[in-house]
Structure 1
Amino acid sequence: MVVESDGLLDESSLYAAPLPQEAVHVRLDTPRVDDLADLVFLANNKQVAANLSTMPHPFTAQDGRALIEKAERNRPLNAGFAIRLKSTGRLIGLTRYANVEPDGPLHIGYWLGEPFWGRGYATEAVHALVDHAFTHTDAEELQGSCRVTNPASRRVLIKSGFQYRDPSMIRSLGAGGSVPIERYTLEKAVWKSLKGWGQGR
C-alpha cells in the first residue's frame, strides 16, 4: 500500500475519461453501493490504515458510504477507482490519482485488503492507473510514497517505473501520528520509454 498524500482517498471522484485498461487479473472501475460490505470489511484493518495517511481506524459503514458517494463526483485531475478481481468482480481495494497542490504533480495512492496481499494485484492496478493518468491527463509527472516499513509497497512502485526521490514525514490517521516515508517519482518521458521497451519484446 502506498501512503497517499492528504485527501487522496478522502476526496475521491471519478475522472471524466474512459476507465483504465483491464490488467491480467484485476480491473479498475467505479466503486458502487453494493461494494459497501466488502469495502468496510477490508478497510477496517489497522495494518491497512497504518500505511495510509487519511484512512480512519476503525473504518465504519458511514465512512464507506461517504467514500462511495464522493467517488461519483467528477473533477479533473482527480480519479478514483475500485480495484476488482476480474474473475469475480469483487472489490479488493481502491486506487486513485489526484492533484493535491495547484499546478503540482499528480499523486497516486492505493490499498488492497489484507487477504489479497502478495499476489501481484497491486502492481497490476498501479500499472493500469499510471497508464490512465498519463493517457487522459496532461500530467508530466506522477508521485507516490510508501512507509519505510512497507517493502511490498516499495517493490510495487519500483516495478511500476517510479524512482526514489527523497525521505519525508507524513501524518497518518491510522498510525496515530507522523511516520517516515520514502517519496518516489515517475516522469511521463520515462513511462513512454518503459512502454516502448515492453512493446519491443
Structure 2
Amino acid sequence: MVVESEGPLEESCLGAAVLPQETARIRLDQPRTDDLADIVFLANNRKIAANLATMPHPFSGDDARRLVQRGQATSADAALYAIRLKSTGRFIGVAKYGSTEPGGPVHVGYWLGEPFWGNGHATEAVQALVDQAFSCGSMNELAAACRVTNPASRRVLVKCGFQYRDQAMIRSLAAGGSVPIERYGLERSIWRALKRWGRSA
C-alpha cells in the first residue's frame, strides 16, 4: 500500500482499541519486541519498500523498534497491527489505518512479507482491519491507494469493497521519487451493505 503514516499517533487518540477479530488464517494484534528479527527480515526488501510511501530501504533494527512503538498507541480512529499467522503466531506483515494529516482522510495501509505473497493473507487482514475501523471508529469513509504497477494490491482493495476514485502521483522514499498511484475509497454505507449481503449469501 502506498499511502501510509509513519509518524506517531496524536496524543488525543491514545487509548486501548479493541483488537480486530481473527479470520480463518490470520490474527491482527500488537507488534512486540520479540517480533523484531522477523520485522527486519521481512521489511528489508526493496520490492515492499518501493510500493510504500515512507518505508526506508534498507530497513534497520531501529526502524523495526519504531514500528513496534507505533503499534503500542492505538485508538478507534488510528491503529497499527501486526499481521500474524493464526496457526503459529508468526509475524508476517503490518496492517494499519489513520490520518496522514490532522483532519485528513483515514487511510488504510498494509504490507506483507514476500514469502507470504499470493495466499490471500493480505485480503483477510485488510477485511479484518476495515471491519475494525468501521465498527469502532467514527470515520465515514476509508481511503486507500496502490501503485499502478502493483496489481496484487489492487486486487486486495477491490476484494475488500474499495472503489476506484482516480489516479495521482505520490513520493516514494524507496522508489527515489514520484510514482503513479491509483486511489480508492470505501464508504461506511457500502461496507454495511456488503456485510449484510455477506450474511444473507
**If the TM-score is normalised by the length of the shorter chain, which range does it land in?**
over 0.9
Between the aligned partners of 1:197 and 1:74, the Cα distance in structure 2 is 30
Instruction: Tell me the residue number matched to 1:62.
Output: 62
AA at the equivalent of 1:192: R
AA at the equivalent of 2:181: I
8 A Cα contact 2:46 2:174, kept in partner: yes
TM-score (norm 1): 0.94
**Closer, same or farther: CA 9–15 of 1 in aligned 2, 3 Å:** farther
Instruction: Tell me the residue number matched to 2:179.
Output: 179
**Closer, same or farther: CA 54–10 of 1 in aligned 2, 3 Å:** farther
AA at the equivalent of 2:188: K
**Closer, same or farther: CA 14–199 of 1 in aligned 2, 3 Å:** farther
8 A Cα contact 1:49 1:57, kept in partner: yes
AA at the equivalent of 2:126: V
| Residues 76-91 of structure 1 mapped to structure 2, 5 A cutoff | 77-91=77-91
Deviation at 1:99, TM superposition (A): 1.6
Between the aligned partners of 2:14 and 2:143, the Cα distance in structure 1 is 19
User: What 5-or-longer segments of structure 1 have no aligned partner?
Assistant: none
Cα RMSD of the aligned pairs, angstroms, is 1.5
Instruction: Tell me the residue number matched to 2:154.
Output: 154
Between the aligned partners of 1:111 and 1:87, the Cα distance in structure 2 is 20
Deviation at 1:105, TM superposition (A): 2.3
SS in 1 for 2:186: strand
Which of 74-83 and 182-191 deviates more?
A: 74-83
Between the aligned partners of 2:30 and 2:14, the Cα distance in structure 1 is 7
**Closer, same or farther: CA 172–14 of 1 in aligned 2, 3 Å:** farther
Does residue 4 (structure 1) correspond to residue 7 (structure 2)? The answer is: no
| Residues 40-119 of structure 1 mapped to structure 2, 5 A cutoff | 40-74=40-74, 77-119=77-119
User: What 5-or-longer segments of structure 2 have no aligned partner?
Assistant: none
Between the aligned partners of 2:14 and 2:155, the Cα distance in structure 1 is 27
AA at the equivalent of 1:84: R
Between the aligned partners of 1:176 and 1:108, the Cα distance in structure 2 is 23
TM-score (norm 2): 0.94
Between the aligned partners of 2:108 and 2:55, the Cα distance in structure 1 is 15
8 A Cα contact 2:39 2:93, kept in partner: yes
Q: What whole-Å deviation, never above 9, does each CA across 1:5-41 have from its counterpart, x for those lacking one?
A: 4xx2443698622100101110100000000000000
Deviation at 1:55, TM superposition (A): 0.3
8 A Cα contact 2:70 2:80, kept in partner: no
Between the aligned partners of 2:76 and 2:94, the Cα distance in structure 1 is 18
8 A Cα contact 2:73 2:79, kept in partner: no
SS in 2 for 1:18: coil
Does residue 136 (structure 1) correspond to residue 136 (structure 2)? The answer is: yes
8 A Cα contact 2:17 2:75, kept in partner: no
Deviation at 1:72, TM superposition (A): 1.4
AA at the equivalent of 1:149: T
SS in 1 for 2:134: helix
Between the aligned partners of 2:15 and 2:176, the Cα distance in structure 1 is 31
Q: What whole-Å deviation, never above 9, does each CA across 1:111-145 have from its counterpart, x for those lacking one?
A: 00000000000000000000000000111000000
Instruction: Tell me the residue number matched to 1:165.
Output: 165
